[in-house]
């Protein structure tokens, strides 16, 4: 997902830097990030990753877009970073509890945009093609595509 997003964002004039567990040290790129776009899977290692320490490593005025999972974000830490002015904005598509409870501070916070959890809608045509290909593979004894890698937890 990260590569696909980067391929669409870079032509819009954004400088895109990616991170993954076996690549660039995350701590080295956060201080230069104007916008963090989170598309990570939820694993024991990524749960709560977007916490006070992570957010403090961003430059003042940075923004966060979370399209990954709600449990990546420590809500209280994000709200503190927004209220202090350290972060300028957060766009959130996923939450710890969905639907987002009516009284949650994200609904009324002036620096938060709440999306309707539609950042990754499934396209029936492409999904059907994947299902059909996997059925053929199962019938033919071939490897099934897009399986969860249990070692990586996603």
Q: What letter would DSSP give residue 12?
A: G
Asked about 21 being catalytic, the answer comes back as no
Q: Is 146 a known active-site residue? A: no
3-state DSSP of 90-150? EEECCCCCCCCCCCCHHHCCCCEEECCCCCCCCCHHHHHHHHHHHHHHHHHCCCCCCCCCC
Q: State what percent of residues in the chain have pLDDT above 90.
A: 64
- Indicate the domain borders of the chain: 2-120, 122-154
Please pick, among 3, 47, 69, 96, the residue that the annotation labels catalytic. Answer: 69
- CATH homologous superfamily for 2-120? NAD(P)-binding Rossmann-like Domain (3.40.50.720)
**pLDDT (tens digit, 9 = 90+) per residue, 89-133?**
999 999 999 989 999 999 999 999 999 877 666 778 888 888 888
pTM, two decimal places:
0.82
Residues 114, 90 contacting (CB under 8 angstroms): no
Task: Out of 20, 117, 125, 152, pick the active-site residue.
Answer: 117
Which of 102, 110, 62, 56 is closest to 83 using CA atoms?
A: 110
């Amino acid at each position: 997902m990260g590569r696909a997003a980067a391929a669409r964002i870079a032509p819009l004039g954004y400088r895109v830097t990616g991170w993954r567990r076996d690549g660039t040290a995350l701590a080295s790129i956060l201080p230069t990030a104007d916008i963090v776009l989170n598309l990570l899977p939820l694993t024991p290692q990524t749960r709560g990753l977007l916490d006070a320490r992570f957010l403090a490593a961003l430059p003042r005025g940075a923004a966060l877009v979370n399209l990954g999972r709600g449990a990546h974000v420590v809500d209280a830490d994000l709200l503190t970073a927004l209220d202090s002015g350290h972060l300028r904005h957060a766009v959130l598509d996923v939450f710890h509890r969905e639907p987002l409870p009516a009284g949650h501070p994200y609904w009324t916070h002036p620096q938060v945009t709440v999306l309707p959890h539609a950042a990754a809608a499934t396209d029936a045509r492409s999904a059907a093609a994947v299902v059909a290909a996997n059925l053929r593979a199962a019938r033919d004894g071939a490897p099934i595509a897009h399986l969860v890698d249990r070692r990586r937890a996603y």
